[in-house]
Amino acid sequence: MRHKTIIEPFRIKTVEPIKMNSEEERCRLLREAHYNPFLLNSDDVIIDFLTDSGTSAMSAEQWGGMQIGDESYAGSRSWKRMEKAVRNLTGMDYILPTHQGRAAERILYSTIGGPGKVFVSNTHFDTTRANIEFREAEAIDLPTPFAKDMSSDYPFKGNIDLDQLSKTIDEKGVDNIAGIIMTVTNNSGGGQPVSMENLKQVRKICDSYNIPLILDCCRVAENSYFIKHREKEYNDYAYEEIAKKIFELSDAAIMSSKKDALVNMGGFLALRNMKLAQECTNLLIITEGFTTYGGLSGRDMEALAIGLKEVFEPAYLDYRIKSTEYLGRKLHELGVPIMLPVGGHAVYIDAKKLYSHIPVFEYPGQVLVCELYKLGGIRTVEIGSVMFGKYEDDHKLIPAPYELVRLAIPRRVYTQSHIEYVIETFEEILRRRKETIGLRIIEEPKFLRHFTAKFERLPYNNKIAEESGLE
């Protein structure tokens, strides 16, 4: 029997009502939020695809674990469970709990980084780069050139460019290289996976130069799924076995457990080197907490230990990736330009292509973000010139290379019918494509403007806007 519908491999035990609203109400709310959905109240959002970070639904077993969490300051039973789970997965001896991923990054990169040091990565995530640069070290991204072509179906667009990697090490001087950071999957690069082959080659380079390999393993389970299904040699491996092989190649690992550990808060730093672990532990105690809780409650650690197991269950992981892939494929079939292949945790829309009549300085990505909210109550985020654009001296926009909109899918939160609803909303987006108009920034902060910038619809388009019911 062939199953066509992707069914969630879980039943729902607790529900959280969604406050439904009309297009008319959403138009008003959007105006009041100055066309920046970051400024909306979450209660006014029907489907929240802003991020997959910390938004997972926990299982009944995890909630059960919360009840038996041991809140002792030292030697907590829940810490022992978390430590065992992380040690078992990573194979590393020294495990430091932290309140989230960036805390682990701050501890590690302020210990091994600093002025004159260089980190090289397939792509540094924003907080990774920020923590490295904050200590005045340099962060260099070397994504594979295959990642540039958004419409090719190259299976491992998360890979690092190996030729450039060797060149960069020689250019910068091997003694200045503090580490090679492999982000799996590559979050900033579209949730694209890294192949085992690429990781093995990186390991070889690390060995020949004696440089540590650091794994940013937020989505290591999702990456393992892609390795199993796209790299022949690994077809018969269990997902967890593949993840363990990835860790085996690494000297250190950082995790934001708000992603693949299926919890709402938490993280860790795992290390093989005792001396480095001691230095990092000193920092941990000063800023996060004692070694047996870091920044976490006992109940958080309990849930994390359980989540790290659940995420590798084939029924869960198959459904997770297939459901994301289904959304991407349906949009692609409708003619919505998306980044291919579909990544693990999100679908990325090419808004520059979708709204080819809207110039980049009228922010086509932000326009799509607003349309999705207006037509469907769906909240997403622009990853384009609002987020990364800069200005020339005469205030002319230097646009970002891409105008993308990210639909990040929270884990175990929305059902297949929610996904169908999102697809239907895109059908409406396409119908209204031609009459959709641009935006202009009226107020913005100096840094990270995407969070708080305010926009207005372009005045010369008011008439069209009225006619199409936009304003």
Interface positions with ligand PLP (CB under 6 A): 53, 100-102, 125, 127-128, 183, 187, 216, 218, 256, 258-259, 267
Smallest separation, CB 266 to ligand PLP (Å): 8
Strand ranges, E, within 204-320? 213-216, 252-256, 267-271
Smallest separation, CB 243 to ligand PLP (Å): 15
Alpha carbons 289 and 281: distance in angstroms, whole number = 10
Nearer CB in complex with ligand PLP: 102/157: 102
Smallest separation, CB 304 to ligand PLP (Å): 12
- In sign, the C-alpha dihedral spanning 300, 302, 305, 307 is negative
DSSP three-state, residue 244: helix
- Quickly tell me which residue has 């489907």 as its tokens: 47
Nearer CB in complex with ligand PLP: 121/461: 121
Q: Which residue pairs, CB below 8 angstroms and at least 24 apart, start in 359-362?
A: 359/438, 360/384, 360/385, 360/397, 360/399, 360/403, 361/385, 361/397, 361/399, 362/437, 362/438, 362/439, 362/440, 362/458
φ, ψ for residue 405, nearest 5 deg? -125, 130
Nearer CB in complex with ligand PLP: 21/53: 53
Smallest separation, CB 225 to ligand PLP (Å): 16
Length of the chain (residues): 471
Nearer CB in complex with ligand PLP: 55/461: 55
Q: Residue 298: which H helix or E strand, with range?
A: helix 298-310
Nearer CB in complex with ligand PLP: 256/297: 256
Both tokens assigned to 445: 């902060």
Nearer CB in complex with ligand PLP: 301/375: 301
Alpha carbons 439 and 385: distance in angstroms, whole number = 12
Alpha carbons 220 and 239: distance in angstroms, whole number = 10
Q: Position 118: which residue type? A: V
Smallest separation, CB 267 to ligand PLP (Å): 5
Smallest separation, CB 252 to ligand PLP (Å): 14
Residue nearest to ligand PLP (CB): 101
Smallest separation, CB 51 to ligand PLP (Å): 8
Nearer CB in complex with ligand PLP: 26/450: 450
Smallest separation, CB 105 to ligand PLP (Å): 6
Say which residues have a Cβ less than 8 Å from residue 150's Cβ, sequence separation at least 6: 339, 340, 350, 402
Rounded to a whole number of angstroms, the distance between the first and last alpha carbons of the chain is 50
Nearer CB in complex with ligand PLP: 103/375: 103
**Residues paired with 97 in a beta bridge:** 268
Smallest separation, CB 102 to ligand PLP (Å): 3
Nearer CB in complex with ligand PLP: 218/354: 218
Smallest separation, CB 257 to ligand PLP (Å): 8
Q: Residue 278: which H helix or E strand, with range?
A: helix 274-287
Nearer CB in complex with ligand PLP: 301/354: 301
Smallest separation, CB 177 to ligand PLP (Å): 20
Nearer CB in complex with ligand PLP: 184/439: 184
Nearer CB in complex with ligand PLP: 391/447: 447
Identify the CA nearest to 255 among candidates 100, 128, 88, 53.
100
User: Any alpha helices (H) in 91-139, and if so which ranges?
Assistant: 101-112, 126-134
Q: Are 221 and 311 in contact, with CB atoms under 8 Å apart?
A: yes
Q: Are 128 and 101 in contact, with CB atoms under 8 Å apart?
A: no
Smallest separation, CB 352 to ligand PLP (Å): 24
Identify the CA nearest to 327 among candidates 259, 410, 229, 384.
410
Alpha carbons 190 and 196: distance in angstroms, whole number = 18
